[in-house]
Each structure stands twice: as C-alpha cells, then as structure tokens.
Structure 1
Amino acid sequence: METPQYCRSISVSARDDSGSHFAEPPIKPSTALRIHPACTVSGALGAHTTCSSDSLACKHWNLRTHTGRRTKLTMIYQKENSGKTQLLIVGNGMASGRLLDEILRRSADKFSITVVGDEIEGSYNRILLSSLLAKEAKRDSLIQKDRAWYESNNIRFISGQRGEKIDHKHQQLILSDGSKLGYQQLVLATGSRPARIPAKNQQLQHIYSFRTLADADTLSQLSTKAKKAVVVGGGLLGLEAAYGLAQRGLKVVLVHRNAWPLNRQLDAGAGDMLRQVMEQKNIQFQLGTEVETFIGEEKVSAAQLSNGERIRCDLAVIATGITPNKELGEASGLSCKRAIQVDHYMKTSAENVSALGECCECEGASFGLVEPIWHQCVTLADRLCFDKNTPFVNPTVATKLKVSGVQVFSAGKHLSAQQHREIVLQDRQNKIYRKLLVKDGKLDGIVLFGDTRSGNSYFEAMQKQSELPDDLSKLLLGDAFYTLPNSTTANPPAAINE
C-alpha cells in the first residue's frame, strides 16, 4: 500500500485505559500507512479500526498490544518530503476561504495546505446569514467551499477541531483532540465570537447569538414555535436579525442602549427615519435602555430592562458586536491587545506566524467588515507566494443594511465636527435623508437613507478626494431634482440645511 508523502514521518505516543504511558515500538516509515479515506496500520501494533472521511488527522487509534491493553495513539505530522511548504491555516471562515483563493490563484503548487476549523461546514458566506433567516436566500447558496472543493484542490480540511496550543519551538499546532500538526507557515484566521452583555440569567434556554450558520439554523427552527422575540443590539447585525425573525412571523422588540439605531453609521435624523421604517415591519424599539436580566425557569420568558419595562418573549437574540478570538495566539506568547497584533504585512510577533481577519488588529484598528479583510488576503498571499511586500492599507469602507426595502448608505464620518461644513436634505414624507460632510473643500462623510442611488458616486469622490463645486446644494441633490420614489415628476427637496 502506497504511503502518502505527508505521512512518511510521524511519531506516536501511547496511553492505556488508565492514562498511563508505556513503551511501544514507533511506527516507522516502512509501516504500511494510509490516512484517507481508509486508515490501516500493519505490524505488531494491530489494525486501525475507523477513520472519519472528513478528518485527515486520524484522531484516535484503538489498538490492542500483546498484553491486551487498549491504547490510543496520537500522531504528530512532521515535515513532508514533497518539497512543498507546509502551510497550516487555523480557521475556515470567510477570511480563510478568500486567502485560499488568492494563494491558489498565484501559486497552487507551492504549498501543501491544511485547514483546521471548529465548524463542521466549509467556508460559507456569513454576510447572507440574515437573508437566510429572512427566507430571502437558500441555505445552499451560502456555501462557498464544500468538502469536494477542498479535495479537488488537494487541501486537507480538518473540521470540528479547534487549535488549542501553538508550539513555536517545534512548529506544531496541538488540536482539541490532542493530535498535532506540523507547519512551516502558520496563519491564524480564528475570527471572532459574539460580544457578551452583562445581563443576568443568560444560561436560560432559547437565548442565542446570531453569528454562525448553526445559529441561523437554530433560530429558523425555533421561529416555527416562538411568538415573540427580544433582540438585543441596534447595530447592523441586530437590525438584520430582528428583520429576519419578523419575516418569519414573530413580533420583535429590539432593545438598544443608544438613542437611535445604527448610531455608529447614522446621525440622529437618519436613525429616526430608520426606526420609523423598521416599525412598519413589525419591529418595536426600546431605545436608551439595556437588558438587566432575563427571566424564566428553564426557558426565557421575559427580559427586564433598565428603564423598568418588562418584555415578554419566548426567544432572545444577543447581537451586540464581536470579540476577536485572540486566545490561541495570546497563550503562545504572540503580542496582543484587543486582538492579535500584526504589521502592515500581516506578520505577528513570531517568525513564520501570520494573522488576518477579525482576530487581528493593525495599528489599533480591528476589522468587522469584509472589504479590509480582502485587502489583507492580497497582502498575505503576495508575501507567502512571492516574498512580495505589498503593505496592507486599511481602506475606507461603505456600510449598507441588508433589510429588504430599507436603503442605507454610510461612509466616512457621520457626525459633524467643528471643522466640517454640513449640508442636509430631509424629505420626511418620502422618508429620504441625505447628509454630506465637507472638510477643506473635500467630501469627508456621507449619510444616505431612503434613496442611495448617488452613494457610489459620492464614495468615489471621497476616496479620490475630488474637488467639490462651490454650490454644494447641487452636489447634495445628486442628479439634481431627481425623481422621488412613487412620483412621476421631479420634485424639489423638502428642506435643505447648510
């Protein structure tokens, strides 16, 4: 039986059922060994019983020695003899998936690639989770890389496993099942997890976050029986979760500690219009307050707010932001603050270890939107494949809300400062709001609600720092006296303030 190149050099440790170590002859390169899809080992050690087809790490070897004791062997994969660089990527989210695309596009044969992920699925489009919840997207449409994709590109995909420890000295990653993977280049793309809130009794059943495909599946199932939901968080994810549940027929109350939703992207004027439009979609708001405690015996039945209100519910979703998953890197000694620190080439403080995506920060900036992460993938792929130093520059990004029939566009600054010249258009009847912030004769901020047709033009002008016309009201009108929704003639704006 032919031995795969990546299995030619391994070491094995053995334990009996009591957990005590005892001596066993090592498995030598001459031993017949096949890791995938059927795993066997011949010789004095006996035969391997099972090997799951989705795990190339061969987690457990159940063997009987000459004494009859049952053992479990842990394999350590060492450097290959294939001449390829061992690239190990921890994380199988969108950042990992995009990095694989960039690497394969540049140098498909340079690396022997292993991807480790704690989720069972391959890479999927997390951006569309809210569309899935709202029944506006099919589950299969979210999957970007299934198991067949990894196999067809000769990439080992180990799912359902977490990286527990990095051994920098021996260049090994220890997984949650105790197995070890060697590497020559290690990339941490461990992403983030939902931020916690200080509310009490979060252990009650039917309180969930909204972060993964499994979360979306669970909420979709529970929505068939639930009647009323509380969503905590008035940012992008909270609003999209609330909309998705409302689309499934639930009455939804959104609790947000600030005075208006999307307060990090919109000012008070646009935020208030957004609230009014969302209320028409069966979503009520509790603003300027927080959940102090969840109430219930086994399952949640109500949420007690800091303003004294008690909201009855049989489902709660917490969507208040993200926390970078820095623990794996930090425990190994990597320099970390809020996240794993990287330079402009995605290098960490350890040799041969890189990081990208939501688990990292660069010059104090962390990342929750995909646009800067795509730039990071280009930078890292160039360095790994070509030793080319293409520095990462954190781009200005535009924010859009994925709620059907609600148009939001925000980029740059959204709140006026002393150095800004502000012009605002408000049309309350048609629920249209436009605000442009100008600094030193150039566009510095864009807030659009209700009609975002000119958003890309504004954004391009801001990115290019284009000179603006003296009459800023013409700029604010976009195509100048454009046709308003549901109108057949051009109408002047209801109000322009400058």
Structure 2
Amino acid sequence: MTEKRKLVVIGNGMAGCRAVEELLTRAPDHYEITIFGAEPEVNYNRIMLSPVLAGETSFDEIVINGADWYAENCIELRSGEEVIAIDAAARMVATDKGDRCTYDRLLIATGSLPFILPVPGAALDGVIAFRDIQDVRRMTATAEGGGRAVVIGGGLLGLEAANGLRTLGMEVTVIHLMDTLMERQLDEAAGFLLRRELEGRGIEVLTGATTEEIVGDEAVTGVKLKDGRTIPADLVVMAAGIRPNIALARDAGLDCNRGIVVDDFMQTSDPAILAVGECVEHRGQVYGLVAPIWEMCRAVGDTLADVESAGYRGSVVSTKLKVTGVDVFSAGDFAAGDGREDIVYRDAARGIYKRIVISEDRVIGAVLYGDTEDGNWYFGLLKEGENIAANRETLVFGPAFAGGAPQDPNAAVAALPDTSEICGCNGVCKGTIVTAIAEKGLTTLADVRAHTKASASCGSCTGLVEKLMALTLGEGYSPAAVEPMCGCTELGHDEVRRLIRAKELKSIPAVMQELEWKTSCGCAKCRPALNYYLVCDWPDEYADDYQSRFVNERVHANIQKDGTYSVVPRMWGGVTSSKELRTIADVVDKFGIPTVKVTGGQRIDMLGIHKEDLPAVWAELGKAGFVSGHAYAKGLRTVKTCVGTDWCRFGTQDSTGLGIRIEKFMWGSWTPAKVKMAVSGCPRNCAEATCKDVGVICVDSGFEIHFAGAAGLDIKGTENLGIVATEDEALEHIVALVQMYREQARYLERIYKWARRIGYDEVRSQILDDAERRKAYFDRFVFSQKFAQVDPWSERVSGKDKHEFRPMAEIGFPQAAE
C-alpha cells in the first residue's frame, strides 16, 4: 500500500475546508490531512455572522463542518493553534504552542485581516472589528448594556453590523467616507434607497464623513470627525475594509504583491505550497467574494489530487446580497460614461429599483434593488456578451418578457449554464444541484438543502432552486409535497417559520404581506399558528394577539358540547389546601355549578359554567390566589406528582417539590401544542411519568428524564433522555428540551411527533450532550418568560419572588370575544 503524503492546511475557514472537501471528492485516500485553525472553533460560515449578531440564528446553525466531519474523514483538526512560521526549505510549520509539523504539500488559506484605520485611539478598549464569531460575541455582550455604537464603514459588513446592533437595542450611527453606501456594489439611486431603509429602522447614517480620532482615555467614549463633530460611542466597530493576510507567506520567502501570488493551478512560487481564498492574488486580481473562491477551491482539489484540468482562469463576478433584509444585486460596470445607455425601472410603492447599463447593444452592468430574481439572467447576458437589440424594449422586465411577450418564467433558469452560481452563500452552482437531484433522487427543497446546502443560509436563492427543481424533475416535482399551513398560503409551517426569522417579520399583517397570503386576514387555522410563531420568535417585540387564539384560550375555559364552560384552576403539582378547597366549594355553590370532577392531572374541574359567569367565577377564585390551570391551552397543562420522600417509604427524591418547581418555573409559556409532565418519586412510577410529554423518574442516583410519550389517540412510552444528579440539572434539561420544541415544532405538533420527525438522537445530542447549546435554550426560555402574558387576570410581581402572583381580583377580567 502506498504511504499517504502529508497535507497541512493553514486556515480552518471557509476556503481551506472547501478546498479539502474538493480534494476528498477526487482523492479521499491521497493524504494524511492536518488543519490548523487560529480560532478555537470548527469551520463555520462567516457570511452568516450578521444573522447571529442580530439574534436570527445561532452559531450552531452556521457551522459548515462539525467535529464529526473531521473525524469521519480522518482529518486532524488543531483548532486554537496558530501557525506562526513556515520553513519552506525543511517543509515544516511552527505553531504558537511550540509544536512543529512537517508536510509534503502545504495549503495556505489565511484569508484576510480587517483594516483598522490608523487614527489616534484605534487601540482603545471598545474598538473592535467584525470578522469572526468572537467579534460577534463581544458586540453582543456590549449591547446587553444598551448605549451607543458607531460603525465606521458603510459597506456590507458595516451595515450588517449596524443593523444587528440596532436590533439588540443600541443606538447606532454609521460613518462612511464616500457619498454612497456600498458604492462598490450600488449606484447612487440604489444607495439612496438603502440609506432610506436604514434610517427608517432608526440607524443614523453619515456619508462623506472622515474619521479623525477615536476619543477616550482607556475605553472609547466617542468618534471625532474631520468636520469637528464628535459622535458619542460606547462601542466602535471598524468595518472599513479588509486586506489579504500574507505575513506568513511573505516571511517564508514566497512571492507576494497585494496577495500571495499564485498561478492557474493555485501554486505559489514554491511548488510544494498552494494558496487559496482572500489571501491570494491571481493574474493581478484579489477576490473577496465567495463565488471566485469556490472556483479556486476546485482548482486546488484538482492540483492536490493530480487531476489534469485547465486550472483557474479568473472570475467575472457579480454580487447578490441580502443587506439588512433587502435584496441587492450588482454586476459589471455601472459607472456613468460616454457611449452608454441606461434602462431604468422604478417602483416607488414596492421599493424596487432596476438599472441595466448597455453599450453597443450588450449588457455591461446591472444594479437591482428590492427585486433581484432576474440577476442571474442579466449576469449571463453580461458574461456571454449576448446582443440584446431584439429585447431592448422589454429587457428591464426580465426574461419572462424576452422577445416582447410573456414567456415561460423558467426559461431563464433553463438557459443558465451548469457553472452558473445559484447559491452565493455556499457556492453551489446549477450543475451541482441538477446532478444531486438526479443521482440522489431528491424531490423536496429540504432534500436539496441537506445534500447541496443550496438555499440553506440566507434563503434569497430559494425561488431559483425551486425553479431548477421544477425544470429538472418535470412532473415529478410537486411543491405541494410540502403540506400548506392552510388554504391562505402555499407555504408549509417550516418555511413560514424560517421566513419569519429570516425576514424579521414581527406582526401578522407583515407576515401576510411579505409572504403573499391569498386572503386579506387569514383564517382560523393560520392566524393561531402565526400568532404562536411570533410570540415565540419575538417575545420582547411582538404583542400577543388574543383575537388570534382559539376561543378556549381567549376565555381561559374549556367550551363543552352544550355551550357551557369548564374552569380548572391551577394546583401546583396537584397539591391543594383547605382554603383552596373551601373557595372551590363556595364557587360551586354560588354559581350552581352542576359537576365537579378530579382530573387526570390531579386538579379539580368545575363543569357547566355559563359564559357570562366566567369573569365572576375567576374573580372569586382569585381571592384564594388561584391562577388559570391552562387546561384549554397550547401550553404547559399539568405537572403530575406523587408524594415522594415527604410521605412514601419508597420515595428516593422530593418528587412533589420538584414537580411544583418545574410547574411554577414554566407555567404561562405557550407551546406548539399542549404539554403534560409528571414526576414520580421512585421507579414504581405512581405519577405515570413514562407516558407524558416530559417525565421524571426519581432514582437513588438522581433524576431520570424521559420525553416524547403519549397516552391519547396514540399510545407511546417515553424515550430516555438521560440521568442527571441534581434538581437544578433536571430543571435545566427539561426547560431546554421544551424550548427546543417551542422553537422547532410545527403548530399543533405534539412533542412525540416532533421528536420522531427530527430524531430522538438529535434531541439527546442537543440537550444531553451539548452543554453550551442546552444553556442557550434555557436562557432563551427565561428571556421569553419576562414578556409572557401568562394570564389576563394575574401577573408576576415585579421585584418579588418569581413564584409570587397578584390575586386575579386585583386586575380584573378582560372582555373575551368569540
């Protein structure tokens, strides 16, 4: 057997890992691979740092290659270990931990460094860049205290940082040297529209402004401009550009100009060393966009695998981005000049702007704002130099009107070459998607996302991917394979929820407008679902719409078949007192309630109450401190308990106390469907914890947590999550599991159906095995509880213990409408 050669990769970022992926597809057994990464992280998508900053997604969701990928491919990952020197003669690299590693081939993928303005005060505490996840975490931590942020640089990164910080509650000012925001990608008109959008979000924008000094003693307090103004600041984000990170290569004696000089096969001046990504210079060009870097990675894969190819010949680039939720596209040369003709389309009401630049009957540039669907078509015309004289009159309306009359809307996608990039975030071209569909039998958008990553990041290319699927599968493609939420939309629950987050939709009218609902106000199926998704995703910004809830939730009672209602006051953990029982007895007598029943959840149900009596019934119950038992709700119903160590001779833990603690901690939290829990004090399981949504069995060594049981229409025993040692751990695991369910499940989907759909092992992986993710789920639940409208008749008392409540009689009963 031939001994494997040693490949060392400097850089665990997008370019380095993508190049290794390309190598593995060609020659998986050629090399023993070691990857050094200065960051203590696995490979993640830097393009998606902005949504992480804005709180739209988590770090885990932007990971490209998790730890399992390195293990499965026998790659040694040395994360948190920086290469500080290359000895090209000895074919060896040295690290900051004093280690040395030899290589047969070396790949440099060191990326770029943020450009820090050389002004006084640039080294003050509170001045940071925006290049990696650590920068995001520092910004997020600073934003927790509110205050003011100044972002220097009105390019893509700067504007995304500004939008994220504003979303986190900071007052934000953007300082930009040029007169037009994103002047490399947008013309003056599109820049104006973008500025108006930002200012509408409360972000101050100063263009044509020069930074003279960062003000402060030890920490930043402001930014002084050349015109004498000083902008107060608690945080300054430098987003004024990037520079290729070439120090290692230059010190190793490799040829460098602006970047590390490489040939068409991505080889440096040393044949044993290749380079790829933002750090390289190819034919005099340095690229900072994903598409050309992915093309470079393919060339690296060929070179390392000893595959004959034409190599990398350079790129004609276009830019398709989503800036603060607005789609923008640009390509080619759109500067003003002689011999050029502009074709412009504006739709002020919709905020759409299109400009096509023509010279000698050929497209030489394009700028699109607000509607970028036809961007790839214009880019294809530009690259191919196609004569557009016959289509001049309808060119601005896109390929659907090519030739003067409406055409097949998929014609433009069909005409794209296989090398045309469909997904810019992940560098996925048309050919890759088509091949995956054919070879793997993919029939749904979710399948394509899972196998190719196309449309899995920002989602702006989803429409293109769907058109490509329709063309490839023909009659075999049915978008209806995703069951719509209702007749008001073609979208399924998962896509609606994803778009609510991605588009930052924070009201039901906004969802219906942006997602093109077919009805004016929705229906009884979609409005409750939308209301839940908005309550869960934007707890601090969205006001719960009670009119979008089912009648039982609106009146805090269960409607019965004869039109009367039943009321179930909450009894924490099934424990009651003589005072509570007397109150219930008095209410039953006063209102002539015909039936009183003990429920399966260890509470008392009063049945046969007339609707007009509900306010008075709750007022009387409130005198004893009763709050709603949510017996009607898509939320936490009950936590059933046994007596545990308090009374039972077999009890191993205080099951009653833990049940009450869980119930008081979690009550009032809306969930996709009802949630029932139980805590049994010993394996005899008197509280029947093994058929509940979440259950706990107390054992000698601690608390055995179960989930995904059912005892209704479906009968199903629980799955075992694991054993924890303390009550605190049990509470954290249970709360995190429920929050994971809240964030991922479809409306009206019970825990056992959700867990079966995503996989029980996935739940265990995120909740039991991943402490950081578990803590994040827990923290998000606690955060959402601060804003929960737990009852129309009761609320948490500010400044007191979180389990104290005001009597409902002090607050009154709101009018409940049908």
| 1:209–1:215 CA contact under 8 A, matched in 2 | yes
Q: Name the aligned partner's letter for residue 401 of structure 1.
A: L
Change (3 A) 1:295 1:448: same
1:134 aligns with 2:54: yes
Deviation per residue, 1:426-456 (Å, 9 max, x gap):
3444432211111232211110112223222
1:240 aligns with 2:139: no
| 2:159–2:324 CA contact under 8 A, matched in 1 | no
Change (3 A) 1:473 1:309: farther
| 1:129–1:216 CA contact under 8 A, matched in 2 | yes
Shift of 1:334: 0.4
Write the distance in 1 (CA, Å) between the matches of 2:34 and 2:258. Answer: 27
1:469 aligns with 2:389: yes
1:249 corresponds, among 169, 190, 195, to 169
What is the number of equivalent residue pairs in this alignment? Answer: 406
1:148 corresponds, among 47, 64, 68, to 68
Q: Name the aligned partner's letter for residue 119 of structure 2.
A: A
| 1:260–1:272 CA contact under 8 A, matched in 2 | yes
Deviation per residue, 1:296-351 (Å, 9 max, x gap):
22221111111222111111101111111101110111000111100111010012
| 2:146–2:169 CA contact under 8 A, matched in 1 | no
Shift of 1:404: 4.4
1:299 aligns with 2:219: yes
TM-score for the superposition, normalised by structure 1: 0.78
Aligned counterpart, 2:247: 327
Q: Which runs of 4+ in 1 moved over 6 A?
A: 485-488
Aligned counterpart, 2:32: 112
Aligned counterpart, 2:183: 263
1:214 aligns with 2:148: no
- Which range is displaced more, 257-266 or 161-170? 161-170
Counting only pairs closer than 5 Å after superposition, residues 328-477 of structure 1 correspond to structure 2 as 328-470=248-390, 472-477=392-397
Write the distance in 2 (CA, Å) between the matches of 1:387 and 1:186. Answer: 17
- Which range is displaced more, 88-97 or 458-467? 458-467
Partner of 2:65, secondary structure, is coil
Deviation per residue, 1:245-268 (Å, 9 max, x gap):
111121110000000101111111
Change (3 A) 1:281 1:473: farther
Shift of 1:458: 1.5
Change (3 A) 1:354 1:471: closer
Write the distance in 2 (CA, Å) between the matches of 1:249 and 1:312. Answer: 16
| 2:155–2:182 CA contact under 8 A, matched in 1 | yes
Q: Name the aligned partner's letter for residue 362 of structure 1.
A: H
Q: Name the aligned partner's letter for residue 161 of structure 1.
A: E
Aligned counterpart, 2:115: 195
Write the distance in 1 (CA, Å) between the matches of 2:353 and 2:321. Answer: 15
Q: Name the aligned partner's letter for residue 102 of structure 1.
A: E
Aligned counterpart, 1:100: 20
TM-score for the superposition, normalised by structure 2: 0.48
Partner of 1:304, secondary structure, is strand
Partner of 2:24, secondary structure, is helix
Q: Name the aligned partner's letter for residue 335 of structure 2.
A: L
Q: Which has the higher contact order (CA 8 A, sep 6+)?
A: 1
Q: Name the aligned partner's letter for residue 50 of structure 2.
A: S
Write the distance in 1 (CA, Å) between the matches of 2:236 and 2:324. Answer: 22
| 2:283–2:314 CA contact under 8 A, matched in 1 | no
Write the distance in 2 (CA, Å) between the matches of 1:230 and 1:402. Answer: 22
| 2:266–2:296 CA contact under 8 A, matched in 1 | yes
Shift of 1:105: 1.0
2:204 corresponds, among 284, 294, 297, to 284
1:177 aligns with 2:177: no
Deviation per residue, 1:361-391 (Å, 9 max, x gap):
1011111111101001101111110342332
Shift of 1:92: 0.5
Q: Name the aligned partner's letter for residue 101 of structure 2.
A: L
Shift of 1:460: 2.3
Write the distance in 2 (CA, Å) between the matches of 1:168 and 1:83. Answer: 22
Q: Name the aligned partner's letter for residue 72 of structure 2.
A: S
Structure richer in helix, relative to its length:
2
| 2:114–2:239 CA contact under 8 A, matched in 1 | yes
Change (3 A) 1:359 1:471: closer
Write the distance in 2 (CA, Å) between the matches of 1:395 and 1:336. Answer: 20
Q: Percentage identity across aligned positions?
A: 36
Aligned counterpart, 1:311: 231
Deviation per residue, 1:16-41 (Å, 9 max, x gap):
xxxxxxxxxxxxxxxxxxxxxxxxxx
Change (3 A) 1:185 1:471: closer
Write the distance in 1 (CA, Å) between the matches of 2:318 and 2:167. Answer: 26
Partner of 1:275, secondary structure, is helix
Change (3 A) 1:149 1:300: same
1:87 aligns with 2:13: no
1:159 aligns with 2:79: yes
Partner of 2:23, secondary structure, is helix
| 2:214–2:220 CA contact under 8 A, matched in 1 | yes
| 2:130–2:161 CA contact under 8 A, matched in 1 | yes
Write the distance in 2 (CA, Å) between the matches of 1:167 and 1:182. Answer: 9
Shift of 1:146: 2.5
Q: Name the aligned partner's letter for residue 136 of structure 2.
A: A
Shift of 1:234: 0.6
Q: Name the aligned partner's letter for residue 104 of structure 2.
A: Q
Shift of 1:179: 1.6
Deviation per residue, 1:258-293 (Å, 9 max, x gap):
001011111111111111111111111111012211
Deviation per residue, 1:139-177 (Å, 9 max, x gap):
101111233321221111112222222212211111122
Write the distance in 2 (CA, Å) between the matches of 1:334 and 1:440. Answer: 43
Write the distance in 1 (CA, Å) between the matches of 2:316 and 2:201. Answer: 31
| 1:240–1:402 CA contact under 8 A, matched in 2 | no
- Which range is displaced more, 429-438 or 345-354? 429-438
| 1:88–1:113 CA contact under 8 A, matched in 2 | yes
Partner of 1:289, secondary structure, is coil
Partner of 1:229, secondary structure, is strand
Structure 2, unaligned stretches of length 5 or more? 407-512, 518-818
Structure 1, unaligned stretches of length 5 or more? 1-80, 489-498
Write the distance in 2 (CA, Å) between the matches of 1:312 and 1:139. Answer: 30
Q: Name the aligned partner's letter for residue 207 of structure 2.
A: L
Shift of 1:457: 2.0
Partner of 2:381, secondary structure, is helix
| 1:173–1:181 CA contact under 8 A, matched in 2 | yes
Write the distance in 2 (CA, Å) between the matches of 1:207 and 1:172. Answer: 36
Write the distance in 1 (CA, Å) between the matches of 2:232 and 2:321. Answer: 27
Structure number, greater radius of gyration? 2
